[in-house]
Amino acid sequence: MQLVKIGLIGCGAVTIKAHIPALMNEPGSKISTYKYLITAICGFDSENLDYIKSILPTVKIFTDYKDLLKEADCDAILIATGEQYHPQISRDALDFGKFVLCEKPFGTNVTEIRKFFAKDKDNDILNNKLQIAFNKRFYPVYTIYKTLIQNGKFGKPISGTFQFITQQGKKTGWEGILSNMIHYCDLISSLFGDINDLQCLSNKSETGINVSVSMKSADDATISFFFSSSGFWNAPWHEQWLLLDKSRNRIFAHNNNELFYSGCKNYSEYYGESNSIFWLPDSHGYKTQLKSFYELVCGIKKEPDVGLKDAIAAHTLFDKIRMICE
């Protein structure tokens, strides 16, 4: 199995709690089809860097990401800094010939993203080395949905309803909800394509922002989306989505680990059991995402599963919603 050497830029919570454990891919993992070696990390938090050094004693520490790009022995870069730095660092890493997996959001707005990538509009060779870490694309509920479509069990959705309730973090206002809401802008864009009509209502309080959006796609599908940062993280029923196709097939996903599928034919044809509600591994998709990126770096895939075009589509939708609400 090919070894991919990877450097990390950013040493915050998502790096320590999500990316490093997934990259290390502990023995016994169900996903053992990739092999990474973390060779370098760049960051400023001394406590976090000390912790990383304690579990990865051979890793080389940098405080300037450009030095890492110049000096570190790595094939790929994983970027998990503040979103305001993502386009610039990704641009620089690509210019150094690295494959890049960059956390979402990919920037603060679509104009900022285009500023760094305008000259690559038709440069597929370069753009195909960039993958965006929209990890919800790799949730079990989403991958099963894609399998249902591939197996002819579910058609193109004609209607969708999405809900996400979380709690306000350190950042407030629209900057505070970008990191979570962009996930659903990506899912809606990937499932329904271009949005032609969009109406929004929103309000703000001390506890957060509440946004209600009604949309119609270019294919005439209707979509409703409710987002709130006025709740509690991981409270019951904080995340759910429902899809319908023209044959009256339904998919209902609750949080990360419960999915209901009802087709015109019996559900057991696909899953081999009569119960139409089943539980999935409580996965946030990080390992599956890294497997996808590994295949890109190794040349197994010729383009990323989630790339620059997807980031631009998601940020375009988010910016439209924000502009209307403000």
CB 145 within 8 A of CB 129: no
Bridge partners, 211 (sequence order): 202, 227
Which phi-psi region, left, alpha or beta, contains residue 120 (left: φ > 0; alpha: ψ -120 to 50)? alpha
Other CB atoms within 10 Å distance of the CB of residue 132: 28
Distance, CA of 75 to CA of 69 (rounded, Å): 10
Q: Where are the beta strands (DSSP E) in the chain?
A: 4-9, 36-42, 60-62, 76-79, 99-103, 130-133, 157-165, 195-205, 208-217, 222-228, 239-245, 250-254, 258-262, 277-279
Q: Are strands 250-254 and 130-133 parallel, antiparallel or unpaired?
A: unpaired
Indicate the range of 17-26, 48-57, 143-152, 316-325 predicted with least confidence. Answer: 143-152
CATH number of 4-135+287-306: 3.40.50.720
Q: In which band, very low, low, confident or very high, does the pLDDT at 176 lie, cut at 50, 70 and 90? A: confident
Say if residue 2's pLDDT is above 50: yes
* CA 137 to chain centroid: 6
Helix (H) or strand (E) holding 188: helix 173-192
pLDDT at 264: 43
Distance, CA of 108 to CA of 115 (rounded, Å): 12
CB 233 within 8 A of CB 176: no
Q: Please spell the DSSP secondary structure of 66-101, one letter per residue.
A: HHHHHHS--SEEEE-S-GGGHHHHHHHHHHTT-EEE
Residues 77-128 have pLDDT tens digits of 999 999 999 999 999 999 999 999 999 999 999 999 998 887 655 566 677 8
C-alpha torsion sign, points 151, 156, 158, 162: positive
The CA–CA distances, whole Å, from 190 to 87, 146, 151, 226, 300 equal: 21, 11, 19, 18, 23
Q: At which residue do the structure tokens 């796609």 appear?
A: 217
Q: Where are the domains of the chain?
A: 4-135+287-306, 137-281+315-325
**What value does the mean pLDDT of the chain take?**
87
Q: Which residue has the higher pLDDT, 248 or 322?
A: 322
pLDDT at 234: 62
Helix (H, G, I), strand (E, B) or coil at 40: strand
* Domain 137-281+315-325 CATH assignment equals 3.30.360.10: yes
Say if residue 139's pLDDT is above 70: yes
What amino acid occupies position 285? G
pLDDT at 171: 77
